[in-house]
Every structure is written in C-alpha cells, then in structure tokens.
Amino acid sequence: MRKRSHRSRTVIALTAAAALGLTGCAAGEGGSTSPGTATRAKPTPVWNRSPDSIAAVGDSVTRGFDACTVLSDCPEVSWATGGDKEVDSLAVRLLGTTGAAERSWNYAVTGARMSDLAEQMTQAAAKKPELVTVMVGANDACRTSTASMTPVADFRTQFQAAMDTLHKALPRTQVYVSSVPNLKRLWSQGRTNPLGKQVWKLGICPSMLADADAQDAAAVKRRDTVQARVEAYNKVLGEVCAKDQRCRFDGNAVFDYRFGPEQLSHWDWFHPSRNGQARLAEIAYRMVTAKKPVA
C-alpha cells in the first residue's frame, strides 16, 4: 500500500509540473519577456490627441476681429473655439458642437501682446482645460515703429513665464502654439485693396502697414525689419515649446500659409476672414491630432 501510494503521488506531481510548464510557455508566447513574468501595460502617451476641453488665449486673430463687421470682435468665428459651421473650429472638431459650447473658453484679447499672456493663462487655468491654444506675437511686432517692437529676449522671457504660470496650476494640461502669421505676406495681399488701405490708416499694424504703397529704401528696410522680428519670435516659440513634452508648436505652418483674398477680412484685408479662420482651424486640428509633433 505504501509503495502504491508513493507511486500515485509521484504521478500527480509530474502531471502538475507539466501543466505549469505549459502555462508558462503560453504566457511567454503572449509577450512576456520570460516564463512567469507578467506582460507590462503600455505607458499612457504624454500627448492626448483627443482632449476633452479647450481654452484659447492670444490676440485679435483668436477673437475673430474684423471677420464679421468692421473693427469688431466676432468670437463665434474663432478658429479655436467658435461655433460657426463654416469655420468648423478646433473645439467643434474635437468636442462636437455641444461639447464646444460647454467645454471651450476664449480668453484672447484684441491687441494683446506676449506680456499679457501670463494673465490670460491664469484665467484659462481656472477652467482646468485639457488643452490650451496660443496665438500671440503679431502685436509685439505691430508697433508704431520698429524701435517699439518687443525685444526678442523679452519675448522669450514672457512666453516662458506664461507657460510656467499654466503648468504651475495645471502640470498635465497640453499647449498648442501657433506661429505668428507672415505680416509681410498680409501687407503684399492687402495693399491691392483701396478699402483695406483706408482701414489700415486707423492704426492697424503701423510698423508694417503704414505708407502701404511706399517702396523707397526706408520703407523696404522697415518692413524687412518687422519681418525679421516675426521670424525671430517664431524661433523662440518653437524653442520654448520644444522643451515641454506637453507642448506642440505648429512648425511655422501658420507663418508659411499663403493667405489670399478669400482668407482675408474684406473689412481690413489683414485679419483672417471666416474662410481664413477655417484654414487656421484645419492647421490646428492637424497638429493636435497628429501621432507625432512636427519635427
């Protein structure tokens, strides 16, 4: 009886060992690095391509200035948060019409400069958005003279301070940063329209648009100086954003976009029209939802 009992226990032990061995092989085939090691869960991506709420900060472009009526904001056509069907804003594309109305906020201010961005970030942070859009810098170049433009070093310090303000309150909130539009391109398009040039005389971007038809050496140098400053600002935006895993710069996509008559306000021929706002929304949506940021 004892020998038979010992033999039975041996058979049971061998059978159990074989079963465990098969289980270990199955786990290994499922992706474990070694038998008996649990499969590791994939890490959560740093960039969420489907944020559930959006706040916009910046200047007149994000306010839809001159897109509906002369010298007036029209936030309903904003590329970032507007509800206009023709524009199909970034918020509508990501959140749907109802979601955009309930979970997107526009804190941009016409005339704002980079020095104003930190305060706008504070306002935006109060809503705890998952994504903040930034388009600012044109007014830092659009001054009464080239000497009055924001120095590049100050622009960098102010942008970094604004980013720090947001991330101190909301460390995980993402930021999409648009490049500053090509102001010289806008001048070259708008100067062909008499109405636009009359509106420019009211004080729209004088460093670039003043004496719109002048082609003397001083006028050319002035416009080139403004253009170079815009390019320097865009370099700063890209460099500061690149240091932050939760920030995406558009890689100069807005600066490179060739705004034409259909994309410009028919009030001032400088700010985006509804069509122009829609093109900005397309660019933003492409950047926010891309698998990888622009190199």
DSSP states of 23-44: HHHHHHHTT-SSTTPPPPPPPP
Cα–Cα–Cα angle for 116, 178, 276, rounded to 5 degrees: 105
Alpha helices in 170-213 (DSSP H): 183-190, 194-200, 206-209
CA atoms within 13 A on the CB side of 64: 23
Task: Judge whether residue 108 has pLDDT over 80.
Answer: yes
Query: For all residues of the chain together, what is the average pLDDT?
Result: 89
Tell me how far apart the alpha carbons of residues 73 and 80 are, in angstroms, rounded to a whole number: 14
Stretch 178-190: mean pLDDT, rounded? 96
Compute CA 106 distance to the chain's CA centroid, rounded to the nearest angstrom: 14
% of the chain exceeding 90 in pLDDT: 80
Stretch 94-114: mean pLDDT, rounded? 98
Residue type present at position 153: A
Task: Judge whether residue 163 has pLDDT over 70.
Answer: yes
pTM above 0.95, yes or no: no
**Which domains are assigned to the chain?**
1-39 (no CATH), 54-289 (3.40.50.1110)
Q: How confident is the model at residue 38 (pLDDT cuts 50, 70, 90)?
A: low
pLDDT (tens digit per residue) in 218-262: 999 999 999 999 999 999 999 999 999 999 999 999 999 999 999
- Element of type H or E holding 4: helix 2-29
pLDDT recorded at residue 41: 59
Q: Which of 13-22, 81-90, 116-125, 280-289 has the lowest mean pLDDT?
A: 13-22
- Element of type H or E holding 125: helix 117-125
Residue type present at position 21: G
Q: Shortest CA distance to 75 belongs to which of 51, 105, 98?
A: 105
Using a 10 angstrom Cβ sphere, with 0-12 exposed, 13-18 middle and 19 or more buried, the burial of residue 206 is middle
Stretch 56-70: mean pLDDT, rounded? 97
Tell me how far apart the alpha carbons of residues 116 and 13 are, in angstroms, rounded to a whole number: 75
Residue whose structure tokens are 């636009």:
196
Stretch 119-126: mean pLDDT, rounded? 98
Cα–Cα–Cα angle for 97, 273, 117, rounded to 5 degrees: 75
Cα–Cα–Cα angle for 169, 175, 179, rounded to 5 degrees: 135
Locate 59 and state its tokens: 């200047």
How many CB atoms neighbour CB 252 within 10 A? Answer: 18
Cβ within 8 Å of residue 31, ≥6 positions away: 39
Q: How confident is the model at residue 32 (pLDDT cuts 50, 70, 90)?
A: very low
Q: How far is CA 230 from CA 139, 176, 225, 251, 266, in A?
A: 10, 18, 9, 14, 24
Q: How confident is the model at residue 52 (pLDDT cuts 50, 70, 90)?
A: very high
